[in-house]
Amino acid sequence: MGRKEKFVYNIHTLTYEKVVVPVKTRIWQAFGLFSVVIVTSLAMLAVFYTLFPSPREADLMREIEQMESKYKQMSGQVEVMSKVLNNIHERDANVHRMVFGMDPVDKDIWEAGTGGHTAHPEVDAFKFGGAAVGEALTRIDFLSRQLVMQSKSLDTIQSLARSKTDMLASIPSVKPVREDKLQKTIGTLSGFGYRIHPVYKIKKFHAGLDFPARVGTAIQAPGDGVVTETGWHHGYGNCVKISHGFGYVTLYGHMSRINVRVGQKVTKGQKIGEVGDTGLSTAPHLHYEVHYRGNPINPINFCMDNLTPREYQEMVEAAKVANQSLD
Ligand SMILES: [Zn+2]
């Protein structure tokens, strides 16, 4: 093309005729050529920059790589924190179980969210480092959720510890008859378990502990509670029952006198009546039972007041001897 003139042979006139190209067509042709050049150049540039990134791009790529490794490092640190928290959670569970007799936070609830699904789909779209960022975010989410649960669990322990003060005052912990009023040393009391029955002379389960004392000796509440029963009971004679809450109930038999009424609140050490010889009894004494969640348990474990650990051990040993009960 260009400025060179073009001729076409006309078979009808048998002459060469000059080709006239309109200006418009020339402009279009020029534009077309220009476009091809531009597109080709851009494509080549793109290939070039892919193979040889610009200094700025190279810097950015380096930074992205560094950030990716920092995110991986963060994930590692969060994992260590999770392990520490899990250890705290384990110890917390032990406190719940051993000290308060309660079930700790459910394991499934505690571990909910560990299943790998990503909670941050927006980072999946990242061309570089999305996986590392996503993992770090997911781990942090999980850790924060567990921290909230752990904190709530500690709140529970705190409130339990507060009510533990009430619990300590309520659970029977002193002897129902003062030791200096007993006619036998505490070590020779008739204990809990199978004993020879004083009336039937056969081995019978003795559900309590007998405290021999003079008729009229004061009987004291071994812990705070509410009187639930008073009156005559075949076998036990004049009898009182006190509910201490937390699963504990105490029973007093063979009383000569009852000083409390049903519904009355009593505090530890308060006089509730007097020792007697009423009901199936062979000598003046207090028959004392401690029930936990409906079952009689050995009252010896609730008589540890004013005893040295050695005296307490002696008492426990002595109470194991299968002597005759006073019932
Ligand atoms: Zn008894």
CATH number at residue 223: 2.70.70.10
Q: What spacing in Å lies between the alpha carbon of 324 and ligand 1's midpoint?
A: 10
In a domain, 1, yes or no: no
* 195: β partners: 204
Let me know whether 244 and 286 are in one domain.
yes
Counting Cα atoms < 13 Å in the Cβ hemisphere of 308 gives 2
Q: What spacing in Å lies between the alpha carbon of 292 and ligand 1's midpoint?
A: 18
In a domain, 326, yes or no: no
Q: What spacing in Å lies between the alpha carbon of 193 and ligand 1's midpoint?
A: 10
- pLDDT at residue 188, as a whole number: 64
Q: For 254-306, how does the pLDDT look when each residue is reduced to its tens digit (9 = 90+)? A: 999 999 999 999 999 999 999 999 998 889 999 999 999 899 998 887 876 66
Let me know whether 198 and 162 are in one domain.
no
Q: Ligand 1 (ion): which residues have CB within 5 A?
A: 208, 210, 287, 327
Let me know whether 217 and 204 are in one domain.
yes
Let me know whether 160 and 259 are in one domain.
no
In a domain, 325, yes or no: no
In a domain, 324, yes or no: no
In a domain, 327, yes or no: no
Let me know whether 85 and 44 are in one domain.
no
- pLDDT at residue 310, as a whole number: 65
- pLDDT at residue 190, as a whole number: 66
- The pTM of the whole model exceeds 0.85: no
Report the first-to-last Cα separation within the chain, whole angstroms: 132
Q: Which two tokens stand for residue 122?
A: 């927006």
Let me know whether 87 and 205 are in one domain.
no
Domain count, the chain: 3
Residues contacting residue 124 through CB under 8 Å, at least 6 positions apart: 118, 130, 134
Let me know whether 144 and 201 are in one domain.
no
Let me know whether 196 and 302 are in one domain.
yes
Tell me the residue range of the domain where 12 lies.
7-51
Q: What spacing in Å lies between the alpha carbon of 316 and ligand 1's midpoint?
A: 17
Nearest one of 210, 304, 214 to 257, comparing CA atoms:
214
221 burial (CB, 10 Å; 0-12 / 13-18 / 19+) is buried
In a domain, 46, yes or no: yes
What's the CA gap between 114 and 100, in Å, rounded?
A: 29
What's the CA gap between 21 and 7, in Å, rounded?
A: 11
Let me know whether 22 and 99 are in one domain.
no
Tell me which residue has tokens 């980072």: 123
Let me know whether 120 and 249 are in one domain.
no
**pLDDT < 70 positions in the chain:** 1-3, 98-101, 113-118, 185-190, 304-326
In a domain, 149, yes or no: yes
Counting Cα atoms < 13 Å in the Cβ hemisphere of 245 gives 15
Tell me which residue has tokens 């077309």: 32
Q: What spacing in Å lies between the alpha carbon of 111 and ligand 1's midpoint?
A: 52
Boundary-marking domain end, from 170, 202, 237: 170
Q: What spacing in Å lies between the alpha carbon of 150 and ligand 1's midpoint?
A: 48
Let me know whether 184 and 311 are in one domain.
yes
Let me know whether 139 and 232 are in one domain.
no
